[in-house]
Structure 1
């Protein structure tokens, strides 16, 4: 977490104005991307329900699976080259305004309006998949 806060400080961007994307894979090798505010914790069961799968079917996506989707670890983006990916945005993301998110590479990020980010993934679902802390920097997963 300290590393993330250091990057935010260097960019002059509050953690609450970032969108992190967590990548998972199902037993059928389907990519599931969860996009949520940078300071929030993922609710795995809620993500699974929104994606239409069982919680036990979510496994972290490895570097090889991310590479097939055009991404690298540390830079996961909700906009994927994998047309079959299931993308779920937390319901709060659309109201965040201008945000920074992963670009697909760990050495760069994208600054974009959150509503435009969601619109860039027309097949994405929006659901309450995040626990938002009441105080900034209160923890993230």
Structure 2
């Protein structure tokens, strides 16, 4: 990491004193490949989807790995129009200390809007992005939510029916 790159999520979590573990694996972008590499079910993961607003503000949506994002609910929770949600590109993620495939709700971008699905905090021990596609963070979901004090919690996920 160069001297001008922002701190990644593990550095931020460590600075907050949040307990977590890092798991290294091959450079993977597909969540199912990451789960296979770690031996973790998708239901025990938190995925973070990154968007950018027309004002270039980063919007991070964190939800259970097996859920589908409700875009309208995310836009409402973030106080923007659904039409203003655009995927964040690699350059925008880099400014927040992250790379595609490793997006985390904890970021170096202090102005980022972070929305957690209302179910995340009660998920127990989960795996989520570390900022890099070759390392995954294992953390208590409640600690992950607590690490983003300005985060919004809202019903933004469609969960599949329980088996």
- What TM-score do you get using the length of structure 1 for normalisation? 0.92
What is residue 148 of structure 2 aligned with on the other side? 121
Residue in 1 that maps onto 2:81: 54
Indicate the residue corresponding to 1:134 in structure 2.
161
* Residue 102 (structure 2) pairs with residue 75 (structure 1): yes
- 1:95 matched to 2:127: no
Which consecutive unaligned segments of at least 5 residues does structure 2 have?
A: 1-29
SS of 1:46's partner is helix
CA distance in 1, matches of 2:148, 2:43: 22
Q: What's the TM-score once normalised by structure 2's chain length? A: 0.80
1:8 to partner: Cα distance:
1.1
**Regions of 4+ moved over 4 Å:** none
1:39 maps to which of 52, 61, 66? 66
Task: Give the 5 Å matches for 1:7-18.
Answer: 7-18=34-45
From the CA coordinates, give the structure whose radius of gyration is larger: 2
Shift of 1:25: 0.1
Count of aligned pairs: 134
Equivalent of 2:139 in 108, 112, 121: 112
What 5-or-longer segments of structure 1 have no aligned partner? 137-141
